[in-house]
Structure 1
Amino acid sequence: MAAPLDDFYAIIPAGGIGSRLWPLSRADAPKFLHDLTGSGTSLLRQTWDRLAPLSGEGRIMVVTGRAHRAAVESQLPGVPDHNVVLESEPKDSTAAIGLAAAILHKREPDVVIGSFAADHVIGDARGFRRSVAEAVAAARAGYVTTIGITPSEPAIGFGYIHVGDSLGIDSAPQAHTVRSFVEKPDLDTATAYLDDGNYLWNAGMFISRADVLLAEIGRNEPELLAGIEELAAAWDTSSRGAVVDAVWPALKKIAIDYSVAEPAAAAGRLAVVPGDFDWDDVGDFASLAKLQSGGLANHLAVLGDGARILADSSSGIVVSHSQRLISLIGVDDIVVVDTPDALLVTTSANAQRVKGVVDALKISGRDDVL
């Protein structure tokens, strides 16, 4: 791509604690602030670097929690202060993305916005940019557009997008209608989707004209849109703080999949561009082990500066943030995460259940290790 897209503004929602990666990912050091690929940069910084050629560094907005402002600005020294949107408390993706879209719509009424999670790994940056360029073209035509990932296996940890007919847009030849959004399936259903060939993984990437996205929120969640627009009207004024304190706590928590994507698909207003690039949401330690091993079988991946590991006939992943010596003998697909105040031992097959530990710690009041 020779130059950034003129009317495009990228949004990076940088929230959530990545509870399936506990105790590596914590409330004060969530997943997106970590280097999980061995590249020397965090997932957040990698996301920024992918988007800058599309939008220009001055046209990337980051939505994050107040507690993470210093870390975000340290990792992204190029982000302008007026492009950092701070949440006083998490309110899920509709509020985060909707507020960013509303602020940008006030500043630039014809803007096309694209939302991209801060904690995903994408190997083919050029392929990603080609898909985004087509999605922007479909968005200009009035569609809320998502980028779906071509499945490589019958994964049960992702939602699926049922692809419909071509939209026939010259500048977006790969853009299709979306027949439906499908919740995370069981293995048999996911296998049938893979065999069918007309289903893509939902990667949570949404590209739209800001006014179109806000109209979709208003159709389905009018009270939420009213609060978002009240916040946006005050955002670039001296009354921002008071309005945020009054309005933000009452906003409804709802994911954008439910407030926008599913109803827009049902109404024929949602488009999808297939993304053939490598993509991983690093959703749990099994995914992280696969990422670190490059798909090699019987491999033991090790993360952590100065990790002290002795292994014999063992595979899986070890994350060490302590100086303890960790010995593994004859264990397959093991997951060991050792931090100064918490130790996790499980297997790749049970990696999705780590979130249950976090939920139990919350219930028991053990916030000191969260």
Structure 2
Amino acid sequence: MVTPPEPLARFYSVIPAGGIGSRLWPLSRADAPKFLHDLTGSGSTLLRATWDRLAPISGPDRIMVVTGRAHRAAVEAQLPDLTDPNVVLESEPKDSSAAIGLAAAILVRREPDVIIGSFAADHVISDQRGFRRAVVEAVAAAEAGYIATIGITPTDAAIGFGYIHCGEPLDIADAPRAVSVDSFVEKPDLSTAQSYLADGNYLWNGGMFISRADVLLTQLGETEPQLLAGLEELAEAWDTPRRGAVVDKVWPELKKIAIDYTVAEPAAAAGRLVVIPGDFDWDDVGDFAAIAKLHSGGRKSDLAILGENARVLADASSGVVISQTGRLISLIGVTDIVVVDTPDALLVTTSANAQRVKSVVDALKLSGRSDVL
């Protein structure tokens, strides 16, 4: 019997479990965001799979989940080993800087030399060993004082992901693959993505950050000192009876901004950010085309069907069908179709237009149709 590797010393995993996942409407809603769904057919929700991936690396007692107050019951039901001190509840979404920054500020007070790793609740990674190897190198880089991220080696010219432009190799003990980050690049058009793939010096931005908590907070404070001050005030009261009052006062005033802009990009510009290439399968399941691809293995001839009571008749059709109603769905001669059937909303589109689902959500918001959001 092979003995599993020990959890990493000083390491704490942080899972930000927020966001609605508007490109997965009407499956993903405000009260049931995508990380609470099984989108892979594995029997585990994305959140549960993330926990199972991280537990052997940090230990199950060293995983903190940051989520919305409305999702606490569902999160705790899916993660029975999650301890109460490791549940951080947001009164309203404030994006990743506040979520990850607050976790860092709380944990550094409990354990001053702690190294934290932030891993989104809605990513799909099946290569556990490859993932662990990358995290081990990222932790080594964090021990050397860097902020580290894990970039995914591209397998195609994807336009749905941001990219990292790699710089020069670095000499960091126990992190032989570490390279500097030259810059971050927003989601490109197809021709630009093809040039990145051909260049070979670009990685997909997986949004994973590993750092000593104090180093991350210092970088955040250089960019957004007022935001850091608010997070420090929250963290100081967090493990005291004053928490509720301080959260009600401070949280609504926090700036809503992604950690890419407050930590990652400024750290890269200052030469403090390194990237570890991750040669493992990865997807952030950003839209229904990604779900279809996960289930088809990239083949165009398959139809992925999700839903416990899904009833589908298909002839010469491909794509994905997600059913929550048990209603019979018949497909004849349609390719790369996306059908999402829920009790109060039906979506029909194609894989090529999957990114545009967000515009439907935006239109529903403008029209006041919050009942289906």
What TM-score bracket applies, with the shorter chain setting the length? over 0.9
Task: Name the counterpart of 1:192.
Answer: 195
Q: Give the whole-Å Cα distance in 1 for the aligned partners of 2:176 and 2:245.
A: 47
Task: Name the counterpart of 2:157.
Answer: 154
Distance apart, 1:245 and its partner CA: 0.2
Match of 1:218 among 216, 221, 230: 221
Distance apart, 1:28 and its partner CA: 0.7
Distance apart, 1:92 and its partner CA: 0.2
Runs (4 or more) in structure 1 with deviation over 3 Å come to none
Task: Name the counterpart of 1:173.
Answer: 176
Q: Give the whole-Å Cα distance in 1 for the aligned partners of 2:42 and 2:317.
A: 25
Residue 332 of structure 1 pairs with residue 351 of structure 2: no
Match of 2:53 among 45, 50, 55: 50
Residue 144 of structure 1 pairs with residue 147 of structure 2: yes
Q: Give the whole-Å Cα distance in 1 for the aligned partners of 2:150 and 2:84.
A: 29
* Matched residue type, 1:195: A
Task: Name the counterpart of 1:312.
Answer: 315
Partner SS for 1:204: strand
Distance apart, 1:154 and its partner CA: 0.9
Task: Name the counterpart of 2:346.
Answer: 343
Task: Name the counterpart of 2:64.
Answer: 61
Match of 2:36 among 33, 38, 43: 33
Match of 2:95 among 92, 95, 114: 92
Task: Name the counterpart of 1:236.
Answer: 239
Partner SS for 2:117: strand
Residue 10 of structure 1 pairs with residue 13 of structure 2: yes
Residue 289 of structure 1 pairs with residue 292 of structure 2: yes
Task: Name the counterpart of 2:367.
Answer: 364
Deviations 1:250-293 (A, max 9, x none): 00000000111111111111000000000010000000000011
Partner SS for 2:101: helix
Distance apart, 1:323 and its partner CA: 2.0
Alignment gaps of 5+ in structure 2: none
Distance apart, 1:169 and its partner CA: 1.3
State the TM-score, normalizing by the size of structure 2. Answer: 0.98
Distance apart, 1:339 and its partner CA: 0.5
* Matched residue type, 1:266: A
Q: Give the whole-Å Cα distance in 2 for the aligned partners of 1:41 and 1:132.
A: 22
Distance apart, 1:296 and its partner CA: 1.8
Distance apart, 1:123 and its partner CA: 1.3
Q: Give the whole-Å Cα distance in 2 for the aligned partners of 1:11 and 1:155.
A: 27
* Matched residue type, 1:254: I
Match of 1:271 among 245, 265, 274: 274
Percent identity reads 78
Match of 2:256 among 253, 257, 260: 253
* Matched residue type, 1:288: I
* Matched residue type, 1:194: L
* Matched residue type, 2:222: R
Alignment gaps of 5+ in structure 1: none
Equivalent pairs, count: 370
Q: Give the whole-Å Cα distance in 2 for the aligned partners of 1:37 and 1:27.
A: 20
Deviations 1:57-102 (A, max 9, x none): 1000000000000000000000110000000000000000000000
* Matched residue type, 1:333: D
Partner SS for 2:356: helix
Task: Name the counterpart of 1:73.
Answer: 76
Q: Give the whole-Å Cα distance in 2 for the aligned partners of 1:225 and 1:170.
A: 31
Q: Give the whole-Å Cα distance in 2 for the aligned partners of 1:54 and 1:40.
A: 22
* Matched residue type, 1:83: N
* Matched residue type, 1:55: S
Q: Give the whole-Å Cα distance in 2 for the aligned partners of 1:38 and 1:313.
A: 22
Residue 227 of structure 1 pairs with residue 230 of structure 2: yes
Partner SS for 2:44: coil
Deviations 1:304-345 (A, max 9, x none): 112111111111111111121111111111100000100000
State the TM-score, normalizing by the size of structure 1. Answer: 0.99
Q: Give the whole-Å Cα distance in 1 for the aligned partners of 2:13 and 2:167.
A: 26
Q: Give the whole-Å Cα distance in 1 for the aligned partners of 2:210 and 2:169.
A: 17
The CA RMSD measured in Å over matched residues stands at: 0.7
Q: Give the whole-Å Cα distance in 2 for the aligned partners of 1:86 and 1:273.
A: 30
Partner SS for 1:161: strand
